[in-house]
Amino acid sequence: MLWAVGTSLLHSGVVINGKEYAYGGHDRPGVTGVYWTRPRTEPPGGTFKCEILHGFSLAPQDEIDSIVRAASEEFYGASYNLLTKNCKYATSASPLNLLSPT
């Protein structure tokens, strides 16, 4: 409905080697909110709209795993906030952003 009037609440993730890493909230203290799915998997209640090629990485898998671990330690599910600490923030201001250069 929001899309039709020129606005929206959009989900974002970073696709690396066939996995889409994203951040979401939950109520389990001390558990990361970083997760992965197959690319283009729609979040509950969502509709896939588009993907944007943001770059690519030649990083080896162990470096990618290290970056994902760092993001996992920074973004706990209980810290998720729809307005201030959401999936957009996690994919642009976290270690995950290192894997998709601008």
Which residues belong to the active site?
A: 11, 87
By the 8 A CB rule, do 55 and 100 touch?
A: yes
Q: Which class for 25: exposed (0-12), middle (13-18), buried (19 or more C-beta within 10 A)?
A: middle
* Unique residue bearing structure tokens 């201030």: 84
Position 9, amino acid: L
**How far apart are alpha carbons 45 and 67 in whole angstroms?**
29
